[in-house]
Every structure is written in structure tokens, then in C-alpha cells.
Amino acid sequence: MNFLEKKKILLIISGGIAAYKSLDLIRSLTKLQCEIKTILTKGGTEFVTPLSVASLSKNKVYSDIYSAENETEIDHISLSRWADLILIAPATSNIIAKMSQGISDDLATTVVQASNKNIFVCPAMNVRMWEHASNKQNIEKIKSYNYRIIGPFNGEMACGEYGDGRMADIEYILKELDNFFKSKSNNKKFRAIVTAGPTREYIDPVRYISNRSSGKQGYEIAKSLFNNGIETTLISGPSKLIPDPNINFLKVNTAEEMYKKTVESLPCDVAIFCAAVGDFKVKNLSEDKIKKNKDLNLDFEKNIDILKLISKNNNKPKLVIGFSAETSNLHLNSKQKLQNKGCDWIIANDVSKKDIGFDSDFNEVSIFYKDKNVGDEIIPKTYKSVVADEIVKRVINQLNLI
């Protein structure tokens, strides 16, 4: 089955000797019944002509962001919304550097920054440029934006040198794109719930007890699930983050509210509980603001245990995953939590480390599985978006086995 059929591909051709391969790429995509629109960068025009690109794609070639004709259509918005997917092939170290820094000084980089679609990047450059520390950092940075990297391959360069940096073969690129759309199509049968952020447990109408959770990891997991074709509901405590507008978003404050919305959102195939739910709440909530001239004596009681209740719910999802924020004995505490809660996985991180966890864009997690035949795993320190993709990859694999 051809999963590329009738898909709309926006191809960005940047400068570099590998640009000539883009003509074969357009020809192959057209044969697979894709609709192709192209952006040819200034550097790209040094290697292929707009006429050759237009004749193969059967569509107008876009190039200059300052073109009055182009901008009457607000191309940097309309092109990004038109496409099912944006493919940058070849992607030079220059355009990769611009994308990593959010520089949008031409139509290609402006479209990328304005896009709400999946972006695939096919690097092509000299081996020394590919291996340069700055380029490696830029690649990791755009991965954190959920851009997907195809290649490069190892081989002989046009300059005569040999090594990594050669643009991926056309057949390989087509296979990656086809697999992406195939996965999205297959994953449409799945539904997911993700909880994220802190809860607020009120003392009086003004004051509350909360924690430092920003919600970043949960929001990234919800985004990755959605990007992989899974219908996703994100239930979030108070957070400054803006959710993807395509995700079903439910905002709550307290643990009781989060539990209620979770139950209302069932049934689903997977529930991932990233939220840092308050373990305790005030026993006797004051209806009026407590005056500071009074002694403050608070009695606490255990809060509702959302993870445990959903794990034992008659409508339990096929896969229930909890998170465990620890400051010591991560392995022991997480194993105990996995057993006590009755969930399928526990994903733990050490929040005592300042460079990961709360408020950070980075995380390092350990995954503990109820299935004793599956060994524990560690996802080393990386961007939370990359951690999310790694978790979702494992979730999809597991759902397809159930």
C-alpha cells in the first residue's frame, strides 16, 4: 500500500551539490501520486533552476520572501498550512544552523518557523562540516523541536573525501516518509490521556499548596503522541505552557478535578500520568481568607491517588504509565511505586539534579516495567522533547503487541 498517495509535500531545496538529487526526489514523489510544492533557496538556485523544478513538480516554485506577488498570498503561512509534511532536502549546515537559532531571513526558514506540521531534514555536507561540534549541537537542537533527521549516509563526497555527510538515497527517504504516514494511519485507532503540571490544594480561597512542576515533560509527551497520529487528551494543572491547539486540552486545579476529568475521558488505550499531583491536601478548607493575626494550624490528609485508582479501574486502559520524581533511592522507590500502584510502567527521574527535572528543558529518566521479562531502561540526559519521542516510540510498540 502506498501511504504517500495524495499527500501534500512541501520540499525545500537548499544550496549544495546534493541539490541535483532533489530533481530525482520530485520525480519519485510525483510517481507516488504526491502533490509537490517547492521552495528554492538562493543557494539552491546555484545548482538547480526554477524551470527544471517547476516542470517536474507541475507547480509554481517559491523563492523570494520579499516578492510582492508571493506575499499577497502570505506564503510563509499558507505554504506551511497547505502541506501535510515539510521536507528539507538537501539541508546544508547553513540552513540547519539558522533553524536551530530561529533565524528566519528568507522564505524557507520563515516557513519552517511558521509551520505547525512535521518537518523532515535530510542533511548533506562535507564530512568535516557534519562532524563539527557546532553542527552536532545544531542537529541536537532541531531534534528538540521535534524535527526528524533522515541520514546522512556514509560514502564518497563530491569533493573527493569520504565519510558521513552524503545525503540519504532517494529510496531511503521515500521509505522513511512512507513509514511515517503508515504509522500515523495505524495509530489513529489509539486514544491517549496525558496528565501534566502541578495541582493546587487550597488552604483558603486565596492560598494553596503546590509544587515546582512546569508541565514541560507531559506537554511534550502529549505533543509527540499527537504527532504520531494518536488521538490525545491533555489534562493539565496550572501551567504557563501553551498546548498544541489540535490536542484536546482540559485545564484543572486540584487533584480531585484531575481525577474527575481523567475518568470522564475514559476509555482510552494508554494513560500517562506525568502530573505532579499533591500527595496531601488540607483537611478543613477555610471558606474565608484566613487572617494573618490568627494562628495557622493546618491538618492534612492524604490526597486522592489518581494513578492507583485508574490502575484498578474497571475501565482501565491497556497501558497505564506513572511518573516518579525522586530525590534519593530512585531505583528502590520506583520499584516499590510500580508494585504499590498496580500500573504497567514507572518512569522516574532524579529531581535533585539542577540541570534536569523541574523547569529545565532537559531530562534523564529510568523506565521500570511490571513485565519481569523486560529489562529496565535509561534514557540519558537530553531534551524533554527527545525523551518524549523515545517514550512514545516504546508506547506505540507496546500497544501494537497488546
What is the Cα 120 distance to its own chain's centre?
13
> Phi and psi (nearest 5°) for 2?
-95, 105
Give me the helix-helix angle, 133-144 and 384-399, nearest 10°.
Answer: 60
Collapsed DSSP state (helix, strand, coil) of residue 25: helix
Residue 234 vs residues 194, 195, 216, 361: alpha-carbon distances, Å:
5, 6, 12, 19
The question of whether 159 is a catalytic residue gets the answer yes
C-alpha cell at 219: 506537554
> Phi and psi (nearest 5°) for 279?
-75, -25
Are the CB atoms for 56 and 23 separated by under 8 Å? yes
Are the CB atoms for 247 and 233 separated by under 8 Å? yes
Q: Cα angle vertex 45, ends 41, 50, to 5°?
A: 95
Are the CB atoms for 99 and 144 separated by under 8 Å? no
C-alpha cell at 209: 499548596
Q: Cα angle vertex 347, ends 344, 351, to 5°?
A: 150
Which of the following is catalytic: 34, 122, 159, 343? Answer: 159
Sign, CA torsion 391/397/401/402: positive
Q: Annotated catalytic sites, by residue? A: 159
